[in-house]
Structure 1
Amino acid sequence: MYSLIETYKLNGQFRWISSQMNRVRNGELYRYIADNSGSFVQPAFYEAFGLTVVEAMTCGLPTFVTVHGGPAKIIVHGKSGFYIDPYQGLHVAQLLVNFFGRSKPDPSYWETISMGGLKLIQEKYAWQIYSDRLSTLAGVYGFWKYVSKLDHLEIRRYLEMFYGLKYRKLAEDVPRAVDE
């Protein structure tokens, strides 16, 4: 990546940010990038959920996320971010070139994608929504536990079945290794 940045004279226009552990600094970093009309690219081969995607979108960053796993379920392509397939590098590069090529002469395009992400976060990932769903789930589980006569083994099997059904589709989306 560093040699590509050198070759195409992208110094000062592109940053490769390694893993950050300080949550406060992460928010400041995302906000700084957004203030400079940047974007967030998450090119993982597979990602289970994509907390970094939600964090970046919360700061107003247009996002480019892997189509393999949870992040693809977070955004709406072309409205609140863009899907990328990390196995298709040229296509990813073209999406980025198109986005910034359109945003540079028309900053409202960057703003539209940024606002689309912020709107989606408020509709699906706000703390109030999460706490309401968690309270509902706790109430349903509490009621179910109260009226059920199942022992602990049956409850565990029921929960394992629920998780298997809920997350099986995500596992199927993971690309398989191909012998070359």
Structure 2
Amino acid sequence: GTLSDRSKPMIFSMARLDRVKNITGLVECYAKNSKLRELANIVIVAGYNDVKKSKDREEIAEIEKMHDLMEKYNLDGQFRWMSAQTNRARNGELYRYIADSRGIFVQPAFYEAFGLTVVESMTCGLPTFATCHGGPAEIIEHGISGFHIDPYHPDRAATLMADFFQQCKEDPTQWNKISDGGLQRIFE
């Protein structure tokens, strides 16, 4: 997909494309929230975007689900999905690019033991919304260095993100406050 309004901030996520990582859940919660869609675009780096390239049954199911969501919610123009990168330096550039757009990073897993992407995104000054199940809940202080989201309540997660973007629109220092809070937390 392409992004038709590039002036909007971006919701960014990067993970393996399997059920527990819940990337399709994030796309669906975005798709269903009109306020969030009005305020931001979504950019995903995950797995393959072509079923023919995957040999993993679970990943194939997630790829198909992603294509179904794109069609069902007419996400063209607001959603960009790129195949996974293995180049860590390139990932760092991506985080910084999203930060330049005043975007956010979202880690929506049903469970995450540690959450390297959470640490990476916070290190790049990207306000981070991460699962409250597992390691990221220890890393992030809710409302100070990022936000906890519950993947089992995607509607609440979408509202929290929409509210954050709305606050940032009204008061740009709000984005800086959470960005700085995340950086401080990482360097503690």
TM over 0.5: yes
Number of aligned pairs?
A: 123
Deviations 1:72-101 (A, max 9, x none): 100100000000000001110110011101
Larger Rg: 1
Return the letter of the residue paired with 1:41.
Answer: V
Unaligned runs of 5+ in 1: 124-180
Counterpart of 1:64 in 2: which secondary structure?
strand
Which structure 2 residues correspond to residues 1-180 of structure 1 after superposition, within 5 A? Answer: 1=27, 5=31, 8=34, 13-18=41-46, 19-123=84-188
Structure 1 pair 67/12, CA: closer, same or farther in 2 (3 Å)? closer
Structure 1 pair 70/13, CA: closer, same or farther in 2 (3 Å)? same
Q: CA RMSD, aligned part only?
A: 2.3
Determine the C-alpha separation between the residues in 2 that align with 1:97 and 1:115: 20
Q: CA deviation at 1:104?
A: 1.0
Unaligned runs of 5+ in 2: 1-26, 47-83
Which has the higher mean CA deviation after the structures are superposed, 29-38 or 16-25? Answer: 16-25
- Answer yes or no: is the 8 Å Cα contact 2:29–2:155 preserved in 1: no
TM-score, length of structure 1 as denominator length: 0.63
Q: Identical aligned pairs, as a percentage?
A: 58
More strand by share: 2
Structure 1 pair 4/57, CA: closer, same or farther in 2 (3 Å)? closer
More helix by share: 1
Return the letter of the residue paired with 1:62.
Answer: P
Which protein has greater RCO, CA pairs closer than 8 Å, 6+ apart? Answer: 2
